[in-house]
Structure 1
Amino acid sequence: MTDVIEYDVVVLGAGPVGENVADRARAAGLSTAIVESELVGGDCSYYACVPSKAMLRPVIARAEARRVPGVKQDVQGPLDVQAVFAHRKYWTANMQDGGQADWLTGIGADLFRGQGRIAGPRHVTVTAPDGGVQELSARQAVAVCTGSRAALPALPGLDTVRPWDSRTATSADQVPGRLLVVGGGVVACEMATAWQAFGSEVTMLVRGQGLLPRMEPFAGELVAEALREAGAEVRTGTAVSSVARDGDTVTAEVVGGGTVEADEILVATGRAPRTEDIGLDTIGLEPGSWLSVDDTCLVKGTTWLYACGDVNHRALLTHQGKYQARIAGAAIAARAQGVPILETDPWGSHTATADHAAVPQVVFTDPEVGSVGLTLAEAESRGLRVRAVDQEMTSAEGAGLYAEDYRGRARMVVDLDREVLVGASFVGAGVGELLHSATVAVAGEVPLDRLWHAVPSFPTISEVWLRLLEAYRDN
């Protein structure tokens, strides 16, 4: 073992979240090391957000073009799937992370490649690919930003059928004739959308009663309807009891009787933290556990350990993890400089308040789904006195101009005591670009009376905002 190298901050994980912690620490003048066992840029850059959207954008563009007069007759043929895969390969930099590693060097962070493990308070060891070990010491903080991985259920036979997980689904380069998707969340819906468009016969088996269960019920209903119309089979309330492979065929036994056969099976039923091999046991924490944090992202019960992104289980979204990283970086710098931390001050510079009140998410299906803040059910469960206001997206003339047979719905959830939005949801083509305005309204707690003065341009889909406000006022 070589000599210990001291830094102010040591970051485990060089995905977007870890990169942002390192960036904020360096901007505050703190020396920073960052440790990565795989590719700099993390799952988001190579296996999740970026490749999945590179795959989905051609699918959605074709679907929307097929609903535009003067164009639809020219886009009736199949997708050029190999061109889509080449597009994905471009956006994942051919699985090379040199550019992102150079960015870290450019901000002044030191990159250590290998498996980082906590070896006691403020100490980290890095085991390099060649077996060499380097010990690091953190004067101020260690930040765990190691993300999450697909959690495969304890399903009899699953370990014998070579199942796809979220990584496989975004990196496979052969289109299976039949794809069985187990799950009904975001990954399941997006990948069902993509692979069905690539030519697979897709069957979805969903244990629950609908798709996208964390969103407003109408979101899952509209996505399921569209998937069925596109040719996929969507079976809700259907659990799998076991799976088996015989040659090229996977067979799933369904609870209550019956089987489903496919060439490949994608299991998208949840996530688990990547904390099983980072030395948590050396500081009295359970290996493989989620890390509970306060609103500064400081791990509870510690004064030096931070956890940002998926590992703290607050909001498993890249953009939300980056937000937490900015908050944590500011808090680490403030504590290092002896500046008071306002950890109980909502919306303060050291407080990740949006994790509780204003988490935005877009699901890139056809139709798209965008949501921020609380659903009606979540708001009611928190004891808020709320009202949901619904409008069809076609109440805005811009929706009809955007595409023929435009279908979608919008909802805003209003806190009646404060007269502010606590949640908003949109379903329809192109609604992802509506979401930030809703996020500003929710995070900014903009009074509804003031929102009346935010005039949407005519004729755009965003006029649905005016229809929602009119419906609230008139009823």
Structure 2
Amino acid sequence: MGREFDVVVIGGGAVGENVADRAGRSGLSVALVEDALVGGECSYWACMPSKALLRPGAALAAARGVPGAAAAVTGDVDVAAAFARRDVVTHQWDDSSQVGWVESTGITLLRGHARFTGERSLSVDGADGPVQVTARHAVVVATGSAAVVPPVDGLAEVRPWTSREATSAQQVPARLAVLGGGVVGVEMATAFADFGSAVTLVVRGDRLLANAEPFAGEAVAAALTDLGVTVLFGTEAQSVRREADGVHLSTGTGADLVVDEVLVATGRRPRTSDLGLETLGLQPGKPLTVDDALQVTGADGGWLFAVGDVSGRTATTHQGKYDARVVGDVIAARFDPRSSAADSPEGATAGDRSLDADAERAAAPWSRYRATADAAAVPQVVFTRPEVAWVGLSEEGARKKGLDVRVVGYDLENVAGATVHAEDYAGRAQIVLDEARGVIVGATFVGPEVAEMLHAATIAVVGEVPLDRLWHAVPSYPTVSEVWLRLLETAGL
């Protein structure tokens, strides 16, 4: 038997849930297809459990940095309690609460794996057999990404950890090798060092956090070293084998690195290999290229959308959810029969869905129907110690765009808020200025708990707030955010 809906969303993670919710608010009927846990990677194997694992070590470090509190810290991280708290955060990998929310919104949840059988048509293989599903108006692919295991000789055979195994671990390996110096690599190196593992971080390049400003990666590398992590730059595994004494990693330089587990954190790929994309003339296993309305550019007719990791535009949950809100609004305005031409993102009603006016809408850079922040104002937080938070363009990225750049930095320990925060507070803030326009196009913070400072910078970048106006945004005293005043003073205001 077939089922028909106005909109079908493939993928019930945080991004797909947001698309379905946003599109369904208009009254369109929406089906959400998920073959695993509703809530997806972020809820069970990424953002939420990883931060739960990192939090105990961060709290202990914060207490130890404050005279008067440090004396109360009498031990190290209680690993069993940390794992138990992680299990609470992930709801014991039980998605019933997420399912309850989906059902409460009027969205129809279809359990199973979806494959395209043609335009707007899918087969969903569920527990009771395949069901044919048709979308009257739109299909949204929100299937996320999966960890990549690089083609290193013997690596796959030793069954390495990925982020999934690391965040759901029930035991702490005595020796852990982490391959990769990106966000997952440095966060998990921090967490397992807190838990007592002898961690070795194997980095092919010459710096950590390659997408951040160089000083951020340097600070994290120094902190990991202080934590007892061995950081090997310019190194990569050439072969891997399991022997009686553990897993041997040969790097071609000196003796093998011998560990109990290997965590691969070298990148991710979009989950598009088994969706039947070839029936639409699209290439499986590749990102789905989209425009700023998140419409797949390789599919005719304006019915197919892709959002989140699967589009290759975003790699964070928060940015994916932003894109989800955009595409949900586009679909609601474009296909809701109650929408007027004035409301429609391309100036057309549901009966006349020509996309000819899309270019006119694109001229409004901050239209709610265009995901323009993906290019100008992507925020990222790394929950290491120190934390790293940045938004917008790095100095290098701004210069590559041909901007007239000036960089202004300030040490966080020199503001009054840092003095009262911790005895050994250290960190740095840096802004990237577009001199021609007099606005901030990028900002980076490194230091304890700087993640909570990032949104102010995000607002400044997205709002393109002129520096002479930003001068009148007075930071409270004594807080670490007083660094905004010092940055502007350093910039000459």
TM range (shorter): over 0.9
Note the C-alpha offset of 1:248.
Answer: 5.1
Note the C-alpha offset of 1:396.
Answer: 1.2
Deviations 1:298-350 (A, max 9, x none): 00032111000000111200000000000001111122145242234211010
Rounded Cα–Cα distance in structure 1 between residues aligned with 2:13 and 2:167: 17
Deviations 1:53-102 (A, max 9, x none): 11111111111111110111222412110000010000100111111111
**1:420 corresponding residue in structure 2:** 439
**1:150 corresponding residue in structure 2:** 147
Q: Which amino acid is the alignment partner of residue 52 of structure 2?
A: A
Deviations 1:268-324 (A, max 9, x none): 000011111111111011111111100000000321110000001112000000000
Determine what percentage of the aligned residue pairs are the same residue. 55
**2:356 corresponding residue in structure 1:** none
Q: Is the 8 A contact 2:439 2:461 kept in 1?
A: yes
Q: Which amino acid is the alignment partner of residue 210 of structure 1?
A: R
Rounded Cα–Cα distance in structure 1 between residues aligned with 2:158 and 2:71: 41
Deviations 1:208-240 (A, max 9, x none): 101100000011100110110111111111121
Structure 2 residue corresponding to 1:345, chosen from 356, 364, 378 = 364
Deviations 1:171-193 (A, max 9, x none): 01101111111100000000000
* TM-score in terms of structure 1 length: 0.98
| Match status 1:449 vs 2:468 | yes
| Match status 1:204 vs 2:223 | no
Note the C-alpha offset of 1:207.
Answer: 0.4
| Match status 1:361 vs 2:358 | no
Note the C-alpha offset of 1:258.
Answer: 3.4
DSSP-derived class of the 1:240 partner? coil
Rounded Cα–Cα distance in structure 2 between residues aligned with 1:74 and 1:182: 36
Q: Which amino acid is the alignment partner of residue 373 of structure 2?
A: A
**2:320 corresponding residue in structure 1:** 321
Q: Is the 8 A contact 1:5 1:136 kept in 2?
A: yes
Structure 2 residue corresponding to 1:411, chosen from 425, 430, 444 = 430
Rounded Cα–Cα distance in structure 2 between residues aligned with 1:282 and 1:63: 54
**2:308 corresponding residue in structure 1:** 309
Rounded Cα–Cα distance in structure 1 between residues aligned with 2:271 and 2:254: 36
Note the C-alpha offset of 1:255.
Answer: 3.4
DSSP-derived class of the 2:71 partner? helix
Q: Is the 8 A contact 2:440 2:467 kept in 1?
A: yes
* Stretch deviating more after TM superposition (170-179 or 465-474): 465-474
Pairs within 5 Å for 1:247-396:
247=244, 249-302=246-299, 303-336=302-335, 337=339, 339-341=344-346, 342-396=361-415
| C-alpha RMSD over aligned residues | 1.1
| Match status 1:52 vs 2:42 | no
Rounded Cα–Cα distance in structure 1 between residues aligned with 2:201 and 2:219: 15
**2:350 corresponding residue in structure 1:** none
**1:166 corresponding residue in structure 2:** 163
Rounded Cα–Cα distance in structure 2 between residues aligned with 1:343 and 1:87: 45
* Stretch deviating more after TM superposition (305-314 or 238-247): 238-247
Q: Is the 8 A contact 2:5 2:135 kept in 1?
A: yes
DSSP-derived class of the 2:491 partner? helix
Q: Which amino acid is the alignment partner of residue 417 of structure 1?
A: A
Deviations 1:393-428 (A, max 9, x none): 112111121111111111000000000010000000
| Match status 1:244 vs 2:263 | no
Structure 1 residue corresponding to 2:65, chosen from 51, 64, 67 = 67
Structure 1 residue corresponding to 2:94, chosen from 76, 93, 96 = 96
Deviations 1:20-62 (A, max 9, x none): 0100111111110010010000000000000001111111111
**2:353 corresponding residue in structure 1:** none
Structure 1 residue corresponding to 2:418, chosen from 399, 404, 423 = 399
| Match status 1:193 vs 2:190 | yes
Rounded Cα–Cα distance in structure 2 between residues aligned with 1:262 and 1:268: 16
Q: Which amino acid is the alignment partner of residue 180 of structure 2?
A: G
Q: Is the 8 A contact 1:28 1:333 kept in 2?
A: yes
Rounded Cα–Cα distance in structure 2 between residues aligned with 1:255 and 1:354: 43
Rounded Cα–Cα distance in structure 2 between residues aligned with 1:255 and 1:105: 55
| Match status 1:36 vs 2:34 | yes
**1:15 corresponding residue in structure 2:** 13
Q: Is the 8 A contact 1:66 1:76 kept in 2?
A: no
Rounded Cα–Cα distance in structure 1 between residues aligned with 2:419 and 2:249: 42
Rounded Cα–Cα distance in structure 1 between residues aligned with 2:117 and 2:414: 59
* TM-score in terms of structure 2 length: 0.94
Q: Which amino acid is the alignment partner of residue 277 of structure 2?
A: L
Note the C-alpha offset of 1:9.
Answer: 0.4
Note the C-alpha offset of 1:463.
Answer: 0.5
Rounded Cα–Cα distance in structure 2 between residues aligned with 1:386 and 1:140: 45
Rounded Cα–Cα distance in structure 2 between residues aligned with 1:153 and 1:162: 12
Unaligned runs of 5+ in 1: none
Rounded Cα–Cα distance in structure 1 between residues aligned with 2:479 and 2:278: 55
Structure 1 residue corresponding to 2:486, chosen from 462, 467, 472 = 467
Rounded Cα–Cα distance in structure 2 between residues aligned with 1:368 and 1:145: 29
Tell me how many residue pairs correspond in the alignment: 471
* Stretch deviating more after TM superposition (108-117 or 338-347): 338-347
